[in-house]
Structure formats: structure tokens, C-alpha cells
Structure 1
């Protein structure tokens, strides 16, 4: 034991700390396994080794109380998911324009995804457009460029827009989650709840005539439902922006269509419905 190198001693101490050993009761180690075996033979506790007086028991070392938590400072990251949600709501309410909202999101520290992403992915397209498309979360290409839907799924979305006479100059595009989750994993419910106030305020400020949810996570978060995208798609619903009611529909995410091409037939029906809703909105305007 005494010949262990310092690194092994460090590992041994760390092992004991993780096992809950946090006080020292004696100077010399005691082989409790050998001691127990001897006691089983004699039926009584073993005396101290000859020639060495018994040591007086040592009082356990006192553990220092944990430091008091620092008072809440809005300039630092919230300490709990609930506090982060409240901070996001407060920040989103303070944005009077899309530019202000983007600046607030750049400074927001309440979502852990920000610390692993390269940059904020805020939006693309025309914020004055009549239709807004909202996806789920950025991928690797979006994280690198800071724009939503720029990878393979983005190219498919451009084709989908073009099939009904739209392009990025006539549509506004964003995501529920503005920071890329590590490894392109699905956002957690906590992460979605923290980011939801921002996208809700973004929709309110953009004020489109039609909201299109791309994918199940987007539809469930914005339409406050637990139904899957297969049941949600194609159904026209009302979405409350906070200032007015707009029409909303859901369809498959382009990334899903890349993995499941058979879904393109249903997505085409949804696109035709989107085209009809926009035409109806035009007809109802003076």
C-alpha cells in the first residue's frame, strides 16, 4: 500500500469519497475482513496488537456547512428549469420588435443548448410575409450558417415552397428551438418549454396570416396538443398570437419526408391546402 504512486493514491481517495467515506477514524488502516474472521473463531472482539497501546477513539471530523446560495442575479443563468422558463417569458415580453427579440435571445443564458451550439439560429426569409413556417430545431448545417433549413431538408423545403408559388422572399421561416441540440438529438421537454416563449413572441411580432408547423414537435408545442403529426396534419386550427387569432396547419417535416418518401403524397395535399388558405385570405382583404 505504501508503495503506491501518487496518482494511484489520488484515485483511491476519490473512490472512497464517491463511496461516502468522508471522515477518518484512525491513523492506521484496519483489515476489517481479517478482524471479522478472527472474531468468528473466538466469539469475541480481538485485542489490539501486542506492543501497541490502544488508541483513544477520535472524534469524527467536522464537515463544513455548504455555502449559502448567492442571491438571484438576472445577468446569470437561472438555476432551475422553472426559473429559466420564467426568465424566458420575461425577456420575450420585453421585445418590441424582431430585432430586439433576436438581441435578447443572443444574451439569454437560461438554455443549456446555447453553450453547446455554435450560434443562434433565429430566422430566414421575409418577416413581413403572409405565411410563417416553424420547424423543430437546427441541424449541423443550420448551426454552422446561423440560418434555418439550409441543409438537405432545407433544399426540399424550397422545392415544396416553389410548388405553390412561394420562395424565401415570400415566407418567414424559424424553429421552435433556436440552438442546435448536441448530436442532432431531439430537444427535451424542458428545453422546448424554455424556448417556447421566444418563438411565441416571434410569431406575434411577425404577425403572419397563416402559420405552418413543420413536424410533430413544432405542432405539439405551438398548438398545445399531444396528438401525433399523422393526426394533426391537414387540419386547420386557430392559433392565438396574443394580439389576434390566425389560422394554423401542420404538415410533415422535410427531414421526415427525406427518410419516408411515401409521406410526400400527403404533404402535397397539405401544400395545396396552404395555397388555398392563402388565396382565401387574399380574397377576404379589401
Structure 2
């Protein structure tokens, strides 16, 4: 569920308020997965930043992440989507742990503060970009993704261009771009200033192009780096493919591989939808 009331979303209507699994249940499952040889677990949900607020005691997401890192020895832990206001200095410190994946997906939705207000979001664009800057400074190589809605009611050419400029100048690693679409019984579906489908399509195309540039820059920044890669599958063209801790598709050429194993890979260059690298033995 979700405790927020964004004006464009009806998830909270369908699923109600956030509900947290008990800490011990999560810990037991992660320990079981580690014992079975899994290399990575993802903590996910509709709104994981609110984890623990419905549990007695001071047990939030930071508490859970710390507990998991202290109780396990091999498995790496990845966080799902987190709201920017739910990432504090302790979260950043925990993400510096060698088994915490250097990857966060932080919804932005708009880079214009007036549009964020109309959306019912509880942060400013300044909050978002200052946190991104802080994360990049403290966790070298971290991948930061963002969601973006274009064509929200009231979004003018000027406010769209503010968003485009701020994102283009940022250190975001990749973008998920969505044209605004009306959801039944939401405030946004009845707002004045609805944007035409043709304009939404044009703006989405522009922002996806910006996203491609951000991703290309991030991939190129990995050249020469040594990163941990979880081997996922063997491809038909003699390559194997894996996922790095900082959320990059990594391709490697090798004769043998062990699915689920984490290997160190030296990155050579950008390749396909990710990078090409060599396994270090």
C-alpha cells in the first residue's frame, strides 16, 4: 500500500495504507536465500521508504538494512524505489557497505516546483538534486535512476524546459519517462490545463533522448573500473550477461560460467545496452 496522496495516482485507493512484513520474517527469508546460494536480494514494495512505521519500536528501513547486513555474510542487498525525503544520512552510510548495492531509484516526476506542488509531492526539485549530488559524492560509481512524468496538467513549455535543463545538468544515471495519463477518481484527471497528446508525445521523446545521453555518460564513466557482477545468463553469441551492483548490464566472453555467482569484472567499454568487460581470475 501507500500512505501518500499524489494527485495523479490511485494506488492508495486500491491497496490502502502501507503494511510492513515483520523484521524477523524478512531476515529468515534472506538467510534462507543466502544458504541456497543466491547472490543478491532486492528489498521492494509499493513504498519501502515507509517500512516499519506500522511496526512497534524504532524499526524503519535503515534498521532492517543494518540488520540484514550484520546477519548475512555473502549475499548483496539492493533497495527498490525510494522517495527522496526517505533517504537520510544513515541510509547513505549504510549504502557504503561493501554488500549494499550502489544503486537507488528515486522518483523525481518533475523538475519544476510548481508542478511538483500540483502533483502533491512533498519535496522540491532542490531537495532531489542536492540529495543526488550528495550520494554521488559519498558513494563513487552509484547509479541513480529517476521517474519522470511529462505533460502533467499545467505543465507549460517554460516549466517543461526547466525540468529538461535541470535533469540534463544533473548526475542522474538513467530515466524512466512517462507521459501523463488520467487515472479514474484522481484530482489530476479533473485539473485545468490538460496537455494535448501530441505535446505529451513530443516532450516524452525529448526527455527519453536526454535519458539516453545520461545513460551513455554513466556507462562511459565505468571504463577501467573493477565492479562486482552477478552472472545471470549465457547468450547465444558466446557472451554471458550479468548485473553489476550499480545496475549495469555487463557482457563478458568466457567459456564457462556459474549462474548466480558474483565475479569481479574490469570494464572495457560501453557495449549494447550496457558495458563489455573481462572477468578477473
Give the TM-score of the pair, scaled to structure 1.
Answer: 0.24
Higher strand share: 2
More helix by share: 1
Larger radius of gyration: 1
